[in-house]
């Protein structure tokens, strides 16, 4: 069995949750998101992040604004919407339930 594939699938499954959590604290540019995810040991490339951000925007969980940049093209800054905050709360509750269940199973046996 390929453990790398399993680990990658686990990381992908929580990426939306992590992105919404980060943007909930402050609006972010894509490179900011990548830096913060790397700090948390979740290495993500732009090719993975952009489709996910687009999906979250299309679902009305995120919005964005353009800001002119002094060193290049305008930057797109993402912020969480009210719908996104409600979704994040649901994900947080699900995460808490899941981690409690997994910890109970893995630590008690």
Instruction: Give the global pTM.
Output: 0.86
Nearest residue to 32 via CA among 51, 14, 46: 46
At 5 the pLDDT is 83
Please, which residues bridge with residue 79 across strands? 63
Query: Which of the residues in the chain have pLDDT under 70?
Result: 109
At 54 the pLDDT is 96
At 17 the pLDDT is 95
Cβ pair 42, 11 in contact under 8 A: yes
Q: In this structure, what token pair is assigned to residue 58?
A: 């299309």
Helix (H) or strand (E) holding 16, with range, is helix 3-25
For the stretch 73-104, pLDDT in tens is: 999 999 999 999 999 999 999 999 999 999 99
At 1 the pLDDT is 73
Residue 60: other Cβ atoms inside 10 A? 12
């Amino acid at each position: 069995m390929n453990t790398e594939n399993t680990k990658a699938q686990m990381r992908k499954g929580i990426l939306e949750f992590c992105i919404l959590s980060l943007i909930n604290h402050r609006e972010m540019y894509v490179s900011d998101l990548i830096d913060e995810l790397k700090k948390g040991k979740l290495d993500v490339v732009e090719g993975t992040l952009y489709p996910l951000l687009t999906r979250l925007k299309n679902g009305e969980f995120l919005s964005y604004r353009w800001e002119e940049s002094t060193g290049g093209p305008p930057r797109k800054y993402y912020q969480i919407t009210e719908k996104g905050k409600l979704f994040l709360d649901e994900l947080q509750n699900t995460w808490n339930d899941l981690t409690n269940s997994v910890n109970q199973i893995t630590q008690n046996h």
